[in-house]
Structure 1
Amino acid sequence: MNKKAVWLVPLWLLAGCAGAGYDDYTAGDLRAKNHVAGQVINRFGVNGYSAPGLGGGYCCVLLPRKWIPGMEALVEWEVDPNPRAIIPLKKEGFGYEEEAYARHAAQYRRHSAVVPVPEYGEQRCGMTVHFLPCNQVKVTTVCMGYGTPDYPIKEPLNMPEPENCPVAQQ
């Protein structure tokens, strides 16, 4: 591979996060909000595009330039059921003791949900995923921030997980 080609790939990725698109799609940031008290989400993804945890500004998710009626998104995520577990550190070097970490990581729970994508117009700012109790998920593409008056998702943060969740309909 020549030197010019090596520079083109990173520039193309950065251009995608800035909103430039190709064909009938545009790229935007992937963000998330966790509404469940005590729940830690290790990572999540939408339609195969992934982010290493919560927060915002992870590049990128592709969205059609025009909203399509009935449009849905596949959201996948991983939850650490015991985020405050104490995992022994290696005696020498950095990181955790491998066997202890493997036992802890084996307890991670993986979930997925297909959710509707609300209608959007010309203005959209990537996608924000909202994780709710009982493994429920909502998404939005609006540009305003969570908690602003016109933000479409109103559920509060730090909601308790109910003791019994409704059974999902198949």
Structure 2
Amino acid sequence: MTAAGHWMLAASLLLQGCVESRPTMLGAPVSGINHTSAAINHFSVNGGGGPNLGPYGGGPRSQMCCAMLPVQWREGLTVVVEWEKDPNVGASGNWPPLGTDGYRAAYKEHAAKYTRHRTVVEVAPYQELGVVDVHFLPCDQVVVSAVAQLPGMPGYPYNFPRRMEVPSTCPTP
């Protein structure tokens, strides 16, 4: 290689350091909206934790950090959602006093009925990456949005009623 060739190579390598690189993935806050009468004890999106959600609870103010998603949405984009559900909210109302052996036994029996779920779900298209919203629907169904709009605003992809009843038959996966 000639001296001029070495100089051109060195100059190009130096200039590459000056080029602004943009991330292809970002950590986005995780939020949940529970449209069911069960409690969501905890959930995650691609391993990033979400808050616990009471029956018909959650929303934009209940956020945790973070789920990694691409800055630009692409066709077929999916995430893994895992959650634990307490189908018998309020059962502790008839338990023995807190801190007793009876309470601990009642809790252990109750917690054994928690159900755990895992699904791979497509992410609704987005122009700009925003909060990752997981909507928990009847029949252990979930949908995920990551748009920069808040639920109920124009451009938000899902407009489910806050309270949804379980249908007489659930769809089979």
Task: State the TM-score, normalized to the length of structure 1.
Answer: 0.75
1:164 and 2:169 aligned: yes
Q: CA deviation at 1:145?
A: 1.7
Say whether the 8 Å CA contact 2:51–2:63 is kept in structure 1: no
What is the rounded CA distance, in whole Å, between the counterparts of 1:69 and 1:150 in structure 2? 18
What residue number does 1:142 align with?
147
Q: CA deviation at 1:32?
A: 0.7
Q: 1:79 aligns with which of 79, 85, 89?
A: 85
What is the rounded CA distance, in whole Å, between the counterparts of 1:29 and 1:82 in structure 2? 29
What residue number does 2:25 align with?
25
Aligned pairs (5 A) from 1:108-127: 108-121=114-127, 123-127=128-132
Aligned pairs (5 A) from 1:84-103: 84-86=90-92, 87-88=95-96, 89-91=98-100, 97-103=103-109
Say whether the 8 Å CA contact 2:130–2:147 is kept in structure 1: yes
**Amino acid corresponding to residue 30 of structure 1 in structure 2:** V
Say whether the 8 Å CA contact 1:27–1:126 is kept in structure 2: no
What is the rounded CA distance, in whole Å, between the counterparts of 1:52 and 1:146 in structure 2? 17
**Amino acid corresponding to residue 90 of structure 1 in structure 2:** G
Q: CA deviation at 1:67?
A: 2.1
What is the rounded CA distance, in whole Å, between the counterparts of 1:52 and 1:154 in structure 2? 21
Give 3-state SS (helix, strand or coil) of 1:102's partner: helix
Q: Which runs of 5+ in 2 are unaligned?
A: 1-21
Q: CA deviation at 1:60?
A: 1.0
Say whether the 8 Å CA contact 1:71–1:117 is kept in structure 2: yes
Q: CA deviation at 1:119?
A: 2.4
Q: Which runs of 5+ in 1 are unaligned?
A: 1-21
Rg bigger for which structure? Answer: 2
User: CA 1:154 to 1:108, structure 2 compared with 1: closer, same or farther past 3 Å?
Assistant: same
User: What number of residue pairs does the alignment pair up?
Assistant: 142
What residue number does 1:4 align with?
none
Runs of 4+ residues over 3 Å off in structure 1: none
Say which structure is richer in helix: 2
**Amino acid corresponding to residue 162 of structure 1 in structure 2:** P
Instruction: Output the aligned Cα RMSD.
Output: 2.1
User: CA 1:151 to 1:67, structure 2 compared with 1: closer, same or farther past 3 Å?
Assistant: closer
Task: State the TM-score, normalized to the length of structure 2.
Answer: 0.74
Percent sequence identity is 41
What is the rounded CA distance, in whole Å, between the counterparts of 1:143 and 1:52 in structure 2? 19
1:42 and 2:41 aligned: yes
